[in-house]
């Protein structure tokens, strides 16, 4: 205890003692830290690296004796360094310092790398239950390892908590694995007979396992080719994100670069070549196709091998060649298609495809193509390129549709269709640019010296020529159709439609529809300018003629497009409609009237009543399909030409004639007549509504509704919908007309809501009319 000096106060003494103790404790603490640092420097050789840079550089520059190369520095304790010669001790210190520095510097990185690896290998295992739900089997870490007791590689998933095995799956060479999005790999396990899925925490881990699966499958497929590495990738090497996150092209090259060449094309190596092409994975198909396309001798050798096997009747070899050619086609490579579909190889390819091992007897495709398939030239084609493309298109289509219809996948079928489409475009382009060819074609079709068979071939050729023009671009199509119109194609079609050959009539209607879909104004202009407008009359006649097929539907479509006001412009709009209504509308209405005579008409009265009508309309009722099409066309006219159709209906009383369809036994015709009346009423034209009331035109519809009774069908629903429309649109004249005229007929249907609502609407209208009448009378009395 320090003695207090004279003059010091007790407070000052305590403060000085506190400062002294603090300094003493601080000095002791610094001494302890200094000793600890000295101790660490003494026993930690890595402190060697804390020397100044010049001293370290001089030590590293010392020559290293050979003796130290055979000595493991890590096996010598640091206390022995002082007993060694200076140069050896210095070298050993340097080696150990490097090793310890690398260990200390990699310590943190290794720890982070392990954690990164664990996160990338962390997965959830799912299993598909019988009720279609994914059941969580646990969370663990996946690796690619050799299975226990086997030389096969597989996926091993260990539980992250207790290291129990959640999954041990041998990787299959079959294509059963699917990658979904970026973090899920699923497959159907053949041993467990169930669906399994691994959901990865990191996308890089999923890529690593997926690449390992692909590499192992590839090695399984090509282990006989030599030079392939079998086994999983080193985990620390392939899990580096910089190596996994590559572009698709780079990853493909790394996968496919193992396959450097194909086995030779000979009989001894044919099984190996077949295995190489057929059993390659999806990622290697492009590489195999590239090798085949680059080898200019591949297909000549394959053709020679096929011919030799066929001459020797080597059935096993022919079966292998069939599978080989089919596999090459399924590679779906454009370069390969250009080679095998060339004239030099295509017949031999078709010959190789005759020997299907699943068919007990060889097919005769080549003999069929050479002997039974006849190429008809309506007009001689002098361009060899056109002939080559035509033959190639037919043969490619024959392979696609006849030889391999079930073996081809959707992608290959699409590629073959593209080849045919491109060939068609080339053929049409070359022919349309040949002015001499087009002029010769039309001159021959207009000639009177052509036999019926030749004319038939010319019409069918023209139909195919126009149909294939769809392969061209829209601008080229329009230019082609305009050129054909200028050459007089519509005059030829008008003559064709008057023929008795149903096949060329159908071809003529198809040609007109192609023109109308491209530019309807071309045909409209021709009809307006044609003397007598015979083509339009031929079309109307074709619509009401029974061809025994559905060609009248084609005539309906042509007429409907011609008179469609929405696609007309300028003077054509009024001209074509005027021609149709003046010359042909009454003809169509008379066909309905003659096919549905009143019950009181006798056959003689019907014949006398039909005088003055067109020659096409006779006492024989038209087919129900024809009557249906006429009714559809009239509904179309009501919607598109309201003013013109109103005038025709009011003058000729056409509505009453059309409603005779209600007397037909076909229910769909009765419903069509109801739909026709519904279309007319929907126009809300006062003249037509007064015409309906005046002539009692709803009577046949109410009668068939009552005859239908309580049967719930289209007729029942159609009439009720008509009454609902009249009520909701507040068509007062029709509401009053219906209730006052047909109240007794509708009394049996009062349980229906539509009938009740109609009567309520009638009461409201009557009360309103009475109120207005009384109010106007009172006003007149007050004024008086």
**Given this model, what pLDDT does residue 255 score?**
37
Instruction: List helix spans (H) across 279-371.
Output: 282-294, 298-311, 315-330, 334-340, 346-352, 365-367
Within-domain flag for 250: yes
Give the pLDDT score at 531. 81
| H/E element, 524 | helix 520-529
* Share above pLDDT 90 across residues of the chain, in percent, rounded to a whole number: 32
Give the integer Cα–Cα distance in Å for 9 and 573.
126
CA distance 306 to 309: 5
Mark whether 399 and 534 lie in a shared domain: no
**Strands 122-128, 184-189: parallel, antiparallel or unpaired by DSSP?**
unpaired
User: Are residues 411 and 374 part of one domain?
Assistant: yes
Q: Which residue has the higher pLDDT, 377 or 550?
A: 377
Residue 555: phi and psi, rounded to 5, are -65, -40
Rounded to whole angstroms, the Cα distance separating 465 from 472 reads: 12
Residue ranges of alpha helices (H) inside 154-269 are 203-221, 235-238, 241-244, 248-256
pLDDT band at 777 (very low <50, low <70, confident <90, very high): low
pLDDT(181) > 70? yes
Counting residues of the chain whose pLDDT is more than 70, the rounded percentage is 75
Residues 425 and 442 reside in one and the same domain: no
Question: Average pLDDT in the 555-563 region?
Answer: 91
Angle at 145 between CA 160 and CA 219, to 5 degrees: 145
Q: Is residue 709 part of a domain?
A: no
pTM, entire model: 0.61
Least Cα distance to 689 among 737, 727, 728 occurs for 737
Q: What is the mean pLDDT of residues 318-330?
A: 92
Higher-scoring residue by pLDDT: 40, 653: 653
The verdict on 451 and 575 lying in the same domain is yes
User: What is the average per-residue pLDDT within 434-457?
Assistant: 86
Structure token pair of residue 441: 């074609």
Instruction: Quote the domain boundaries for residue 130.
Output: 116-256
Name the domain count of the chain.
Answer: 4
Whose tokens are 């091993």? That residue is 156
Sole residue written with tokens 């809501």: 753
The answer to whether 122 touches 161, Cβ cutoff 8 Å, is: no
Is residue 522 a contact partner of residue 515, using CB atoms and an 8 Å limit?
Answer: yes
Closest to 633 in 3D by CA, of 560, 713, 543, 718: 560
Q: How confident is the model at residue 635 (pLDDT cuts 50, 70, 90)?
A: very high
Tell me what the mean pLDDT of segment 509-516 comes to.
Answer: 92
pLDDT for residue 429 is more than 80: yes
Q: Which of 269, 415, 408, 411 is nearest to 326 (CA)?
A: 408
Q: How far is CA 45 from CA 77, 93, 143, 406, 623, in A?
A: 10, 7, 38, 75, 110
Tell me the pLDDT tens digit for each residue of 497-510: 998 888 999 999 99
Q: In terms of residues, how long is the chain? A: 784
Shared domain check, 316 and 361: yes
Please tell me the chain's helix, strand, coil percentages from 3-state DSSP, rounded to the nearest 5.
65, 5, 25
CATH code, 455: 1.25.10
DSSP state of 610: T
Question: Does residue 199 form part of some domain?
Answer: yes
- On whether both 281 and 409 belong to a single domain, the answer is yes
**How far, in Å, CA of 578 to CA of 587, rounded?**
15
CA atoms within 13 A on the CB side of 563: 27
Are 403 and 494 contained in the same domain? no
Tens of pLDDT along 700-754? 999 999 999 888 999 999 999 999 999 999 888 899 999 999 988 888 888 889 8
pLDDT at 538 over 70: yes
Q: Is 160 exposed, middle or buried (0-12, 13-18, 19+ CB in 10 A)?
A: middle
Q: Which DSSP string do the residues of 142-185 spell out, in sequence order? A: EEEEEPTTSS-EEEEEEETTT--EEEEEEPPSSS-EEEETTTEE
* Residue 511: predicted pLDDT: 93
Residue 96: the pLDDT is 43
What is the SS3 assignment for 362-430? CCCHHHHHHHHCCCCCCCCCCCHHHHHHHHHHHHHHHHHHHHCCCCCCHHHHHHHHHHHHHHHHHHHHH
List pLDDT tens digits, range 578-625: 889 888 999 999 999 888 766 554 333 334 344 444 444 445 788 889
Query: What tens digit of pLDDT does each residue of 68-108 get?
Result: 333 333 333 333 333 333 333 334 334 444 444 344 444 44
Please tell me whether residues 507 and 392 are part of one structural domain.
no
Residue position matching structure tokens 């008057």? 498
In a domain, 644, yes or no: no
Task: Indicate whether 440 and 491 sit together in one domain.
Answer: yes
CATH of the domain at 204: 2.30.29.30
pLDDT over threshold 90, residue 674:
yes
State yes or no: pLDDT of 496 exceeds 80.
yes
Helices (H), 566-641: 572-583, 585-595, 603-609, 624-640
How crowded is residue 167: how many other Cβ atoms within 10 Å of its Cβ? 20
**639 lies in some domain:** no
Is residue 670 within 8 A of residue 703, CB to CB? The reply is no
Is residue 43 over pLDDT 60?
A: no
In terms of pLDDT, which residue wins out, 27 or 491? 491
| 577 located within any domain | yes
Strand, coil or helix: what is 505? helix
- The reply to whether 307 falls in a domain is yes
- Whether residues 391 and 525 share a domain: the answer is no
Confidence class for position 354, pLDDT limits 50, 70, 90: very high
- The answer to whether 125 and 140 are in contact (CB under 8 A) is yes
DSSP letter assigned to residue 5: P
For residue 402, pLDDT over 90 is answered with: yes
Where a domain ends, among 395, 429, 463? 429
Looking at residue 672, its pLDDT comes to: 94
Cα of first residue to Cα of last residue in the chain, in angstroms, is: 140
Nearest-CA neighbor of 233 among 255, 249, 259?
A: 255
Among residues 221, 256, 291, which one ends one of the domains?
Answer: 256
Residue 564: phi, psi to the nearest 5?
-75, 110
Helix-helix angle 452-468:410-432, to 10 degrees = 120
Statement to judge: residues 501 and 444 lie in one domain = yes
Residue 348 pLDDT > 50: yes
Q: Are residues 548 and 496 in the same domain?
A: yes
Contacts by 732-739, CB closer than 8 A, 24 or more apart? 732/765, 733/689, 733/690, 733/693, 734/681, 734/689, 734/692, 734/693, 734/698, 735/761, 735/762, 735/765, 736/762, 736/765, 736/766, 737/692, 737/693, 737/698, 738/698, 738/702, 738/762
- Per-residue confidence (pLDDT) for residue 95, from 0 to 100: 44
| Cβ atoms within 10 Å, residue 273 | 19
Which among 341, 337, 270, 279 has a CA at the least distance from the CA of 302?
270
Residues 518/481, Cβ–Cβ less than 8 Å: yes
- Distances 689 to 379, 734, 762, 764 between C-alpha atoms, Å: 60, 7, 17, 20
Q: Is the pLDDT of residue 778 over 80?
A: no
Q: What mean pLDDT value characterizes the chain?
A: 78
Which of these, 420, 417, 434, 350, lies nearest to 389 by C-alpha position? 420
Q: What is the mean pLDDT of residues 516-545?
A: 89
Residue appearing with tokens 């600890």: 36
223: nearest Cα among 264, 274, 258:
258
Which of 222, 256, 290 is the last residue before a domain boundary?
Answer: 256
Classify residue 527: in a domain, yes or no.
yes
Rounded CA separation 288/275 (Å): 12
What is the reported pLDDT for 217?
Answer: 80
């Amino acid at each position: 205890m320090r003695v207090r000096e004279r003059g010091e106060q007790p407070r000052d003494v305590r403060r000085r003692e506190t400062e002294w103790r603090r300094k003493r404790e601080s000095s002791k603490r610094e001494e302890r830290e200094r000793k600890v640092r000295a101790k660490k420097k003494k026993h930690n050789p890595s402190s060697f690296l804390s020397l100044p840079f010049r001293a370290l550089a001089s030590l590293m520059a010392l020559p290293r004796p050979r003796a130290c190369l055979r000595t493991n520095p890590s096996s010598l304790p640091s206390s022995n360094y002082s007993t060694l010669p200076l140069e050896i001790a210095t070298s050993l210190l340097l080696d150990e310092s490097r090793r310890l520095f690398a260990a200390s510097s990699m310590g943190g990185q290794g720890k982070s790398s392990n954690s990164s690896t664990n996160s990338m290998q962390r997965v959830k295992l799912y299993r598909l239950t019988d009720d279609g739900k994914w059941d969580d089997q646990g969370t663990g870490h996946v690796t690619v390892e050799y299975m226990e007791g086997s030389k096969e590689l597989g996926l091993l998933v260990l539980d992250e908590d207790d290291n129990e095995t959640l999954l041990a799956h041998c990787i299959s060479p079959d294509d059963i694995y699917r990658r979904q999005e970026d973090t899920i790999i699923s497959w159907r396990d053949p041993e467990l007979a169930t669906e399994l899925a691994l959901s990865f925490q990191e996308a890089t881990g999923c890529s690593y396992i997926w690449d390992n699966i692909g590499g192992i499958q590839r090695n399984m497929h090509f282990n006989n080719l030599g030079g392939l590495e079998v086994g999983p990738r080193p985990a620390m090497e392939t899990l580096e994100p910089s190596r996994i996150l590559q572009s698709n092209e780079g990853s493909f090259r790394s996968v496919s670069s193992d396959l450097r060449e194909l086995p030779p094309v000979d009989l001894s190596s044919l099984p190996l070549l077949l295995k190489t092409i057929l059993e390659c994975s999806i990622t290697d198909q492009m590489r195999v196709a590239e090798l085949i396309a680059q080898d200019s001798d591949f297909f000549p050798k394959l053709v020679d091998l096929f011919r030799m096997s066929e001459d020797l009747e080597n059935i096993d070899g022919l079966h292998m060649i069939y599978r080989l050619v089919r596999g090459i086609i399924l590679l779906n490579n454009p370069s390969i298609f250009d080679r095998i579909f060339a004239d030099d190889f295509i017949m031999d390819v078709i010959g190789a495809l005759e020997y299907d091992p699943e068919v007990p007897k060889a097919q005769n495709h080549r003999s069929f193509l050479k002997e039974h398939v006849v190429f008809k030239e309506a007009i001689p084609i002098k361009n060899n390129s056109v002939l080559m493309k035509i033959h190639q298109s037919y043969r490619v289509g024959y392979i696609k549709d006849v030889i391999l219809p079930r073996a081809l996948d959707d992608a290959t079928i699409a590629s073959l269709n593209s080849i045919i489409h491109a060939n068609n475009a080339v053929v049409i382009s070359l022919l349309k640019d040949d002015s001499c060819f087009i002029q010769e074609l039309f001159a021959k079709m207009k000639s009177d010296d052509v036999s019926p068979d030749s004319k038939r071939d010319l019409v069918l050729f023209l139909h195919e020529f126009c149909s294939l023009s769809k392969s061209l671009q829209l601008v080229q199509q329009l230019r082609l159709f305009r050129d054909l119109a200028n050459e007089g194609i519509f005059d030829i079609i008008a003559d064709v439609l008057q023929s008795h050959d149903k096949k060329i009539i159908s071809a003529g209607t198809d040609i007109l529809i192609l023109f109308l879909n491209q530019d309807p104004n071309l045909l409209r202009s021709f009809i307006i300018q044609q003397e007598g407008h015979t083509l339009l009359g031929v079309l109307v006649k074709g619509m009401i003629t029974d061809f025994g097929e559905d060609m009248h539907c084609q005539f309906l479509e042509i007429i409907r497009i011609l008179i469609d006001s929405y696609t007309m412009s300028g003077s054509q709009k009024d001209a074509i409609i005027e021609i149709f209504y003046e010359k042909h509308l009454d003809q169509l209405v008379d066909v309905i009237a003659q096919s549905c005579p009143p019950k009181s008409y006798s056959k003689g009265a019907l014949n006398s009543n039909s005088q003055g009508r067109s020659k096409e309309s006779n006492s024989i009722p038209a087919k129900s399909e024809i009557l249906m099409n006429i009714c559809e066309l009239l509904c179309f006219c009501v919607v598109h030409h309201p003013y013109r159709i109103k005038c025709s209906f009011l003058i000729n009383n056409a509505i009453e004639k059309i409603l005779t369809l209600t007397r037909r036994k076909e229910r769909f015709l009765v419903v069509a007549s109801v739909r026709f009346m519904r279309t007319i009423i929907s126009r809300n034209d006062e003249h037509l509504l007064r015409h309906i009331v005046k002539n009692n035109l709803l009577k046949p519809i109410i009668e068939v509704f009552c005859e239908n009774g309580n049967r719930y069908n289209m007729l029942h629903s159609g009439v009720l919908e008509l009454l609902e429309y009249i009520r909701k649109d507040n068509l007062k004249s029709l509401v009053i007309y219906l209730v006052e005229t047909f109240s007794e007929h509708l009394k049996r249907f009062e349980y229906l809501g539509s009938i009740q609502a109609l009567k309520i609407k009638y009461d409201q209208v009557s009360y309103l009319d009475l109120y207005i009448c009384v109010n106007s009378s009172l006003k007149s009395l007050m004024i008086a």
